[in-house]
Amino acid sequence: MDHVSLAYQFPERSVDISHERFGLDFNRCVLCTRCIRVCDELEGAHTWDMAGRGHHSHLVSDLNQPWGEASSCTACGKCVNACPTGALFPRGTTVGELQRDHKRLSYTAMAHHRRHHESH
């Protein structure tokens, strides 16, 4: 067999980074509903819900709008902490968004170098 004749069941989905603090990668979501439950039961905000059925199921915020426009969201981060796959993530933590602080890195390397030589 040298090719796949059937279409993939889960096409590449979008990433929502409209929220100023958090992001949602629909490709990583496994529909576990932990974010829905923690938002409802612990925060009481009721921001998250599931839309669609079966293969078309997907997470929605408020009335299926970008997360950054969801007026019910309190930006508490409970859903992000409850997510087991990293589908909900803090902004600035994905590889594409990482900001390297080269000054801090060189300081850390110098401190390690000094400690290493002082111990010998």
- For 75-106, how does the pLDDT look when each residue is reduced to its tens digit (9 = 90+)? 999 999 999 999 999 998 766 665 666 677 67
Whose CA is closest to 14, among 71, 75, 74, 59? 59
Write down the number of H helices and E strands in the chain.
3, 5
89/91 Cα distance (integer angstroms): 6
Distance between CA atoms of residues 36 and 49, nearest Å: 6
Prediction pTM value: 0.70
Measured between alpha carbons, how far is 93 from 87 in angstroms, rounded to an integer? Answer: 12
- Lowest mean pLDDT segment, chosen from 2-16, 25-39, 56-70: 2-16
- Each residue's pLDDT tens digit, 23-59: 999 999 999 999 999 999 999 999 999 999 988 899 9
Position 8 scores a pLDDT of 62
Instruction: Give residue 13's pLDDT.
Output: 84
* pLDDT, position 85: 94
Query: Which residues is 25 bridged to in the sheet?
Result: 15
Cα 65 to the center of its chain, rounded Å: 17
62 or 120, which is more confident: 62
Q: What is the DSSP letter of 62?
A: T
CATH number belonging to the domain at 15-118, selected among 3.40.50.620, 3.40.30.10, 3.30.70.20, 3.30.465.10: 3.30.70.20
User: What are the sequence ranges of the domains in the chain?
Assistant: 15-118
